[in-house]
Amino acid sequence: MTEQELTNGRGRPIVTMVVSVILATAFGFSAGLVAGQPVVRDLVDSYFSPNALSEAEITEQSEAVAELLQTEEDRRISTVESVSPAVVSVVVSKDMPVFEQYYSDPFGGIFGDFPGMQIPQLRQKGTERQDVGAGTGFFVSADGMIVTNRHVVADESADYTVVTSDGEKHTAQVLGRDPSNDLAVLKIDGENWPFLPFTTNEPRVGQSVVAIGYSLGQFSNTVSAGIISGLSRDITAGDGRGNSEQLYDVIQTDAAINPGNSGGPLLNLDGQVVGMNVAVEQNAQGIGFALPANDIRRVVDSVVETGKISRPFLGVRYLMINEDLAKSNQLTVDYGALVVRGDSQTDLAVTPGSPADKAGIVENDIILEVNGERLDEDNPLTRAIRDLRAGDTVHLKILHHGEEMEVEAVLIERE
């Protein structure tokens, strides 16, 4: 694995992602049900006791609950109505080959016009501009800056069109694709575009959220509602074509995220962006994932400040060490990042001239710590440096030729 985690929708193909995750706490729910049985019995006993609520009190409380539920529904409707103009569709188009059928005589006409001698064949007849995929995005500034998932706009040879909520089409320019997260920034011409603010509060499990997206690549501004059901999830996401990447600290939600929703906003009931829809677990219901707002905001800030997405680069390929890897390779430690070359001759363990190279790191070294933080499968090298900036000095503890030593490296910008 490299520092850069591997890169990774109508009737047309849809840009989407598939997630591979393991949920290890499913047993907790059934245990909670068993533990809760005495409470249910106590409630039943109290209901028939002399101190039970009167019919009028029960009615009053029921009306209060109904009012609360109605209030949340009104807030949800109000949120959707206010934010929908800021959500857009991102359509992918490119020149595709067009084929025509013709008939050919494989025997060169030696049998004349004998029936059955003409074989149907296909040949290319130029190219035709076609829509080949779609995703979702949303405005983050009044001057037309839009964010979406990188995998929606991954094809550098394609053209991208933004379709706003009024159905108007606008040519989009890709300002940047994040090399270490599934984020990209687009821009269209114009001013006074409606845009979505980011939440200033940390998301909380149980918080009500709304997901909006271009569902299944056909239905614009499709809305689904749910709650945040988990935080700080690490997942491996793939696009079904062999590409995959590691995503860290993502938000888990039971709000339905469908193919084509990629890049759409996950919002709280105040209409603030909590996250960006990114992936769905296809082997389970009610498990979707979103990139957190802070990650999106950092990318937007980088583009505003520098005109591009800037990420730090150390310059190594690595594998995270666990007990099995340590045992099979007779390593002296069972944690850290083992610096290794890839399968291709050009996949060098250490990039020549990189910060790692200048610090003296070589193939088969093990990076044990970054700035005092131990590296392991829960805290891989990519996570340890992702929030740093080009120009930052990192202190590395490494195992070099069997000996522990400390070195420093000045991070550069990833190209």
User: What DSSP string describes 358-405?
Assistant: HTT--TT-EEEEETTEEPBTTB-HHHHHTT--TT-EEEEEEEETTEEE
Number of domains composing the chain: 2
| Residue 98 maps to a domain | yes
| Residue 17 maps to a domain | no
Segment among 38-52, 109-123, 291-305 with least mean pLDDT: 38-52
Greater confidence (15 vs 275) lies with 275
390: pLDDT strictly greater than 90: no
What pLDDT is stored for residue 71 in this prediction? 78
Per-residue b or e along 20-57, where b marks 16 or more CB atoms closer than 10 Å to that residue's CB: ebeeeeeeeeeeeeeeeeeeeeeeeeeeeeeeeeeeee
What pLDDT is stored for residue 13 in this prediction? 41
37: pLDDT strictly greater than 80: no
Domain range spanning residue 155? 86-108+116-177
Sign of CA dihedral 252, 254, 258, 261: negative
65: pLDDT strictly greater than 90: no
| Residue 41 maps to a domain | no
Distance CA 392, CA 371 (A): 11
| Residue 359 maps to a domain | yes
> What SS3 state is found at 127?
strand
Structure confidence at residue 73 as a pLDDT band (50, 70, 90): confident
Helix runs in 261-359, H state only: 293-306, 323-328, 355-358
Contact 184, 148 (CB under 8 A): yes
φ and ψ at residue 109, rounded to 5 degrees = 85, 10
CB-based burial of residue 117 (10 Å sphere; 0-12 exposed, 13-18 middle, 19+ buried)? middle
What pLDDT is stored for residue 149 in this prediction? 93
Structure confidence at residue 63 as a pLDDT band (50, 70, 90): low
| Residue 169 maps to a domain | yes
What pLDDT is stored for residue 7 in this prediction? 33
Range from 215-219, 374-378, 383-387 that averages highest in pLDDT:
374-378
What pLDDT is stored for residue 24 in this prediction? 27
pLDDT digits (tens, 9 = 90+) for 162-197: 999 888 999 999 999 988 889 999 999 999 999 999
Distance CA 366, CA 353 (A): 19
Range from 157-161, 216-220, 280-284 that averages highest in pLDDT:
157-161
pLDDT digits (tens, 9 = 90+) for 329-359: 899 999 999 999 988 888 899 999 999 999 9
> What SS3 state is found at 229?
strand
Distance CA 338, CA 348 (A): 13
What pLDDT is stored for residue 310 in this prediction? 82
The arithmetic mean of pLDDT across residues 1-12, rounded, is 40
| Residue 55 maps to a domain | no
pTM of the model: 0.70
CA angle in degrees (0–180, nearest 5) for 98-102-106: 130
CATH code: domain of residue 99: 2.40.10.10
Domain final residue, candidates 177, 198, 223: 177
Beta bridge partners of residue 409, listed in sequence order: 394
| Residue 376 maps to a domain | yes
Residue recorded with tokens 């011409």: 189
What pLDDT is stored for residue 177 in this prediction? 92
pLDDT digits (tens, 9 = 90+) for 111-163: 666 665 677 777 778 777 787 788 899 999 999 999 999 989 988 889 999 99
CATH code: domain of residue 338: 2.30.42.10
Domain final residue, candidates 126, 148, 177: 177
The mean pLDDT value of the chain amounts to 80
What pLDDT is stored for residue 397 in this prediction? 96
CA-based radius of gyration for the chain = 27
Tokens of 218: 């056909």
| Residue 33 maps to a domain | no
Task: Kindly compute the dihedral angle of the four CA atoms of residues 213, 214, 216, 219, in this order, to the nearest 10 degrees.
Answer: 120
Distance CA 291, CA 277 (A): 7
The arithmetic mean of pLDDT across residues 250-273, rounded, is 89
What residues are annotated to the active site?
151, 182, 262
21: pLDDT strictly greater than 50: no
What pLDDT is stored for residue 10 in this prediction? 37
Residues found in the chain: 415
| Residues near 62 by beta carbon (within 8 Å), at least 6 away in sequence | none
